[in-house]
Amino acid sequence: MPERNIVVTGASGGIGAALGEQLATRGDRVLLVARREAELRDVVQRAGPNAHPQVADVTSREAVQGVVREAIARLGHIDVWVNNVGRGITRPVSQLTDDDVDEMIRVNVKSALYGMQEVLPHFIERGAGHIINVSSMLGRVPSATFRSAYNGAKHFLNAITANLRDEMREQHPGIQVSLVSPGIVSTAFGTNAVHGGPDSRTLPMSQPVEEVAAVIVRVIDTQAPDVYTRAGMRDHVVSYFGRLGTDP
């Protein structure tokens, strides 16, 4: 595959860090974006000379605008933009506060929305580009009740991803939009959730982060529109919705 210029957000750890390392070591040029500077520079050092750091909080539209400018200045152009920022919550619906909901939307939806909107003019000008949004199986099947507003935020992300895909297909067919839905991933996601929570790395069926990153690499190569990170996940979603609702 040809070398690409790729922006990955949420790259100081977890999926983003593993993805950045895999892309850079295979020859892609990568701008890795995160708030935590020390951790981000460690990832860049491991990834090698094709990786470049950009410290930014992508829940700020102005910061995302700066990332777009930096990526174009440093790489020349952008081929792929991966929205990977996300944060969970440990609180049932009955106990959610306004701040809980606002935080879930800010991190899981607005960060991706800003990325989509701010990179689109560049892609439209070039007539090509690829946006990848990293969602969650809980955005398909909200089975973890304690994740509550996180589940809802990922459903929101799934909806606007599908809408943008249709919009681009009609107006700018050279721009591709993909959604990736992991299940439980062996990262610090659980312990970093709002109000704390179980360590995802200790949960059964936790998928190695390198496997999830490899799936995203394949999505970059194939431009597949909607991908789960493990076999059988799609069937689980179909089964779940098959059990719900009845015709009038």
From 57, 77, 87, select the one nearest 129 (Cα to Cα). 77
The one-letter code for the residue type at 1 is M
Residue 60: burial class (beta carbons within 10 Å; 0-12, 13-18, 19+): middle
Nearest in space to 7 (alpha carbons), one of 105, 114, 106? 114
- Sorted by sequence, the CB contacts under 8 Å of residue 155 that are 6+ apart come out as 139, 142
Catalytic residues: 150
Query: How many Cβ atoms are within 10 Å of 32's Cβ, its own excluded?
Result: 28
Tokens representing residue 16 in the block: 């983003």
Helix axes 148-171, 111-126, angle to 10 degrees: 10
Alpha helix stretches (DSSP H) within the chain: 14-26, 37-47, 61-75, 98-105, 111-126, 148-171, 209-222, 233-242
Helix (H, G, I), strand (E, B) or coil at 246: coil
Please state, in angstroms and rounded to a whole number, the distance separating the CA atoms of residues 117 and 109: 12
3-class DSSP assignment, residue 211? helix
